[in-house]
Amino acid sequence: MITKQIIMKSRKIVSITFIIVLVLLIVTGIFISTLFKTRLREIFKMNEVRESEGYYLSEFEFKLVGQAYYLENTEGVYYPLS
């Protein structure tokens, strides 16, 4: 009788822990995807500004300028774009 209660408690603890970890992973995924989409929009806006000024950036230069921008504006936190 006591072992059955212990097994039920441990199953409940494992289930609750699994649900909490799952929710945290989902929230983290949503946060990272939103952050990435925001960065892409900003980089494309930067490219449009440069093109309107008469500059043309190749794909490599475009990525390089975008990464340099984020290194300067994210307090040294580096998130690669590719």
Report the number of distinct structural domains present in the chain.
1
pLDDT at res. 58? 75
| 78: in domain | no
- Per-residue pLDDT at 65: 74
Residue 47 within a domain: yes
In a domain, 82, yes or no: no
Q: Which structural domain, as residue segments, surrounds residue 53?
A: 2-73
Is 65 inside a domain boundary? Answer: yes
End-to-end CA distance of the chain: 57
The pLDDT score that the predictor gives to residue 17 is 95
Q: What are the mean pLDDT values of the chain's consecutive 10-residue runs (82 residues total)?
A: 77 93 94 79 79 77 75 62 54
Q: Is residue 14 part of a domain?
A: yes
Q: What is the pLDDT of residue 78?
A: 56
Q: What is the pLDDT of residue 70?
A: 72
Backbone φ and ψ for 74, nearest 5 degrees, come out as: -115, 25
21 within some domain: yes
Decide: 50 and 57 in contact? Cβ < 8 Å: yes
- Name the residue type at position 49: V
Query: Is residue 81 included in any domain, yes or no?
Result: no
Q: Evaluate whether residue 53 is within a structural domain.
A: yes
Scan for tokens 């892409």, then name that residue: 40
**pTM for this structure?**
0.51
User: What is the pLDDT, as a whole number, of residue 76?
Assistant: 55
